[in-house]
Amino acid sequence: MKRVLVGYDGSKPARRALQRGCRLLDSDGELFVINVIHELPAGVRPGHQTEPLQREEQGRLLNEATALVGGQGQQARTIAASGDPGRAIAEHAEAVNANLVVVGTRGLGLARRLVLGSVSDAVVRHAGCDVLLVR
Protein backbone atom coordinates (compact mmCIF):
# COMPACT_ATOMS: atom_id res chain seq x y z
CA MET A 1 0.00 0.00 0.00
CA LYS A 2 1.20 3.46 -0.84
CA ARG A 3 -0.71 5.50 1.76
CA VAL A 4 -1.98 3.95 4.97
CA LEU A 5 -3.86 5.76 7.74
CA VAL A 6 -4.00 4.07 11.15
CA GLY A 7 -6.37 5.09 13.91
CA TYR A 8 -4.54 4.99 17.24
CA ASP A 9 -5.92 5.30 20.77
CA GLY A 10 -3.30 3.37 22.71
CA SER A 11 -5.44 0.24 23.16
CA LYS A 12 -4.15 -3.25 22.41
CA PRO A 13 -6.25 -3.51 19.23
CA ALA A 14 -4.90 -0.11 18.10
CA ARG A 15 -1.32 -1.29 18.68
CA ARG A 16 -2.01 -4.38 16.59
CA ALA A 17 -3.57 -2.16 13.90
CA LEU A 18 -0.44 -0.01 13.89
CA GLN A 19 1.78 -3.05 13.52
CA ARG A 20 -0.39 -4.35 10.67
CA GLY A 21 -0.37 -0.96 8.95
CA CYS A 22 3.44 -0.94 9.09
CA ARG A 23 3.64 -4.42 7.58
CA LEU A 24 1.26 -3.54 4.73
CA LEU A 25 3.03 -0.31 3.80
CA ASP A 26 5.13 -0.31 0.63
CA SER A 27 8.81 0.55 1.12
CA ASP A 28 8.19 3.93 -0.53
CA GLY A 29 4.73 4.42 1.02
CA GLU A 30 3.54 6.94 3.59
CA LEU A 31 2.13 6.03 6.97
CA PHE A 32 -0.23 8.38 8.80
CA VAL A 33 -1.33 7.89 12.39
CA ILE A 34 -4.41 9.69 13.68
CA ASN A 35 -5.75 10.16 17.18
CA VAL A 36 -9.16 11.74 17.58
CA ILE A 37 -10.44 13.42 20.72
CA HIS A 38 -14.13 12.58 20.85
CA GLU A 39 -16.10 15.77 21.17
CA LEU A 40 -19.83 15.80 21.63
CA PRO A 41 -21.93 17.92 19.26
CA ALA A 42 -22.42 21.58 20.15
CA GLY A 43 -25.22 22.10 22.62
CA VAL A 44 -24.81 18.69 24.22
CA ARG A 45 -22.16 19.85 26.64
CA PRO A 46 -21.68 23.38 27.96
CA GLY A 47 -18.49 25.02 26.83
CA HIS A 48 -17.82 22.45 24.08
CA GLN A 49 -14.10 22.98 24.44
CA THR A 50 -11.39 20.38 24.38
CA GLU A 51 -9.76 20.07 27.76
CA PRO A 52 -6.01 20.76 27.90
CA LEU A 53 -5.53 17.35 29.54
CA GLN A 54 -7.14 15.67 26.53
CA ARG A 55 -4.71 17.46 24.19
CA GLU A 56 -1.81 16.43 26.41
CA GLU A 57 -2.95 12.80 26.35
CA GLN A 58 -3.43 13.00 22.59
CA GLY A 59 0.14 14.22 22.18
CA ARG A 60 1.41 11.42 24.41
CA LEU A 61 -0.46 8.80 22.37
CA LEU A 62 0.82 10.17 19.06
CA ASN A 63 4.39 10.20 20.43
CA GLU A 64 3.90 6.61 21.59
CA ALA A 65 2.70 5.60 18.12
CA THR A 66 5.66 7.38 16.49
CA ALA A 67 8.05 5.47 18.77
CA LEU A 68 6.36 2.14 17.97
CA VAL A 69 6.61 2.83 14.25
CA GLY A 70 10.23 3.92 14.64
CA GLY A 71 10.95 0.63 16.41
CA GLN A 72 9.92 -1.10 13.20
CA GLY A 73 12.31 1.05 11.17
CA GLN A 74 9.60 3.26 9.69
CA GLN A 75 8.35 6.82 10.03
CA ALA A 76 4.85 8.17 10.43
CA ARG A 77 3.16 11.50 10.03
CA THR A 78 0.80 12.18 12.91
CA ILE A 79 -2.61 13.80 12.84
CA ALA A 80 -4.25 15.26 15.95
CA ALA A 81 -7.97 15.62 15.36
CA SER A 82 -11.16 16.15 17.31
CA GLY A 83 -14.82 15.44 16.67
CA ASP A 84 -16.67 12.23 15.99
CA PRO A 85 -13.86 9.64 15.74
CA GLY A 86 -15.32 7.49 12.94
CA ARG A 87 -16.14 10.45 10.73
CA ALA A 88 -12.85 12.23 11.51
CA ILE A 89 -10.81 9.17 10.55
CA ALA A 90 -12.76 8.78 7.30
CA GLU A 91 -12.42 12.49 6.48
CA HIS A 92 -8.67 12.49 7.12
CA ALA A 93 -8.28 9.33 5.04
CA GLU A 94 -9.77 11.25 2.14
CA ALA A 95 -7.65 14.33 2.89
CA VAL A 96 -4.38 12.36 2.75
CA ASN A 97 -5.62 10.24 -0.16
CA ALA A 98 -5.17 7.01 1.80
CA ASN A 99 -5.43 3.69 -0.01
CA LEU A 100 -6.19 1.89 3.25
CA VAL A 101 -7.43 2.72 6.73
CA VAL A 102 -6.46 0.33 9.52
CA VAL A 103 -8.30 0.44 12.85
CA GLY A 104 -8.51 -1.85 15.82
CA THR A 105 -11.82 -3.23 16.97
CA ARG A 106 -12.61 -4.08 20.55
CA GLY A 107 -15.44 -6.48 19.80
CA LEU A 108 -18.08 -4.58 21.77
CA GLY A 109 -21.32 -6.44 22.32
CA LEU A 110 -24.51 -5.26 20.64
CA ALA A 111 -25.76 -3.32 23.67
CA ARG A 112 -22.48 -1.42 24.13
CA ARG A 113 -22.25 -0.71 20.39
CA LEU A 114 -25.77 0.74 20.43
CA VAL A 115 -25.04 2.95 23.43
CA LEU A 116 -21.42 3.93 22.75
CA GLY A 117 -21.27 3.54 19.01
CA SER A 118 -18.46 1.76 17.25
CA VAL A 119 -15.63 3.76 15.73
CA SER A 120 -14.70 0.88 13.43
CA ASP A 121 -18.30 0.56 12.17
CA ALA A 122 -18.41 4.30 11.46
CA VAL A 123 -15.09 4.20 9.60
CA VAL A 124 -16.33 1.34 7.42
CA ARG A 125 -19.54 3.29 6.65
CA HIS A 126 -17.87 6.62 5.86
CA ALA A 127 -14.43 5.84 4.39
CA GLY A 128 -13.99 6.13 0.65
CA CYS A 129 -11.18 3.56 0.60
CA ASP A 130 -10.59 0.05 1.89
CA VAL A 131 -10.75 -0.45 5.66
CA LEU A 132 -8.99 -3.22 7.57
CA LEU A 133 -10.34 -4.06 11.03
CA VAL A 134 -7.81 -5.65 13.37
CA ARG A 135 -8.74 -7.50 16.58
Least confident of 42-56, 63-77, 91-105: 42-56
Looking at domain 3-134, what is its CATH homologous superfamily?
HUPs (3.40.50.620)
pLDDT at 46 over 80: no
pTM of the model: 0.87
Q: How confident is the model at residue 51 (pLDDT cuts 50, 70, 90)?
A: confident
Chain-wide mean pLDDT for the chain? 88
pLDDT of residue 74: 95
Q: How confident is the model at residue 45 (pLDDT cuts 50, 70, 90)?
A: low
pLDDT of residue 52: 86
pLDDT at 76 over 60: yes
pLDDT at 81 over 70: yes
Q: Write the DSSP assignment of the chain as a string of letters.
A: --EEEEE--SSHHHHHHHHHHHHHS-TT-EEEEEEEEE-PPBTTBTT----HHHHHHHHHHHHHHHHHHHHTT---EEEEEEE-HHHHHHHHHHHTT-SEEEEE-----HHHHHHH--HHHHHHHH-SSEEEEE-
In terms of phi and psi (left: phi > 0; alpha: psi -120 to 50; beta: otherwise), the region of 73 is: left
pLDDT at 115 over 50: no
